[in-house]
Amino acid sequence: MELKAENDFADLPLEEMTVEQQQELATRHNGGPYWENDQAQCYDRDFAHHLDQARNAIR
Protein backbone atom coordinates (compact mmCIF):
# COMPACT_ATOMS: atom_id res chain seq x y z
CA MET A 1 0.00 0.00 0.00
CA GLU A 2 1.60 3.23 -1.18
CA LEU A 3 0.23 5.45 1.59
CA LYS A 4 1.42 3.05 4.23
CA ALA A 5 4.90 3.01 2.71
CA GLU A 6 5.15 6.80 3.16
CA ASN A 7 5.08 6.50 6.97
CA ASP A 8 7.48 5.35 9.66
CA PHE A 9 5.21 2.36 10.34
CA ALA A 10 5.51 0.98 6.80
CA ASP A 11 7.04 -2.29 7.97
CA LEU A 12 4.25 -3.12 10.43
CA PRO A 13 1.43 -5.46 9.44
CA LEU A 14 -1.98 -3.79 9.82
CA GLU A 15 -2.87 -5.95 12.82
CA GLU A 16 0.23 -4.69 14.66
CA MET A 17 -0.39 -1.00 13.96
CA THR A 18 -1.61 1.18 16.80
CA VAL A 19 -5.04 2.81 16.55
CA GLU A 20 -3.24 6.13 16.05
CA GLN A 21 -1.28 4.72 13.11
CA GLN A 22 -4.47 3.27 11.63
CA GLN A 23 -6.15 6.66 12.09
CA GLU A 24 -3.38 8.45 10.24
CA LEU A 25 -3.46 5.92 7.41
CA ALA A 26 -7.24 6.18 7.07
CA THR A 27 -7.11 9.98 7.17
CA ARG A 28 -4.38 10.10 4.53
CA HIS A 29 -6.43 7.74 2.35
CA ASN A 30 -9.69 9.64 2.70
CA GLY A 31 -8.17 13.13 2.66
CA GLY A 32 -5.78 12.58 -0.21
CA PRO A 33 -3.27 15.40 -0.58
CA TYR A 34 -5.41 17.48 1.79
CA TRP A 35 -5.33 14.93 4.61
CA GLU A 36 -4.22 17.56 7.11
CA ASN A 37 -7.20 19.86 6.53
CA ASP A 38 -10.06 20.20 9.02
CA GLN A 39 -12.49 17.95 7.16
CA ALA A 40 -10.02 15.07 6.91
CA GLN A 41 -8.96 15.54 10.52
CA CYS A 42 -12.62 15.31 11.58
CA TYR A 43 -12.65 11.82 10.07
CA ASP A 44 -9.48 11.05 12.02
CA ARG A 45 -11.08 12.06 15.30
CA ASP A 46 -14.09 9.81 14.65
CA PHE A 47 -12.01 6.86 13.40
CA ALA A 48 -11.79 4.92 16.68
CA HIS A 49 -15.54 5.21 17.25
CA HIS A 50 -16.30 3.93 13.74
CA LEU A 51 -13.72 1.18 14.11
CA ASP A 52 -15.44 -0.09 17.23
CA GLN A 53 -18.80 0.01 15.47
CA ALA A 54 -17.43 -1.93 12.50
CA ARG A 55 -15.87 -4.56 14.75
CA ASN A 56 -19.13 -4.96 16.68
CA ALA A 57 -21.11 -5.28 13.44
CA ILE A 58 -19.05 -8.21 12.20
CA ARG A 59 -19.23 -10.16 15.47
Confidence of residue 11 (pLDDT cuts 50, 70, 90): confident
Concatenated DSSP letters of 1-54: -HHHHTSTTTTS-GGGS-HHHHHHHHHHHHHGGGTTSHHHHHHHHHHHHHHHHH
Q: What is the DSSP letter of 58?
A: T
Domain count of the chain?
Answer: 1
Residue 44: give the domain boundaries: 18-28+39-59
Nearest to 48 by CA among 34, 27, 29: 27
pTM over 0.75: no
Report yes or no on 51 lying in a domain: yes
pLDDT in tens, 26-46: 888 878 888 888 887 887 777
| Cβ neighbours of residue 23 closer than 8 Å, sequence gap 6 or more | 44, 47, 48
Report yes or no on 54 lying in a domain: yes
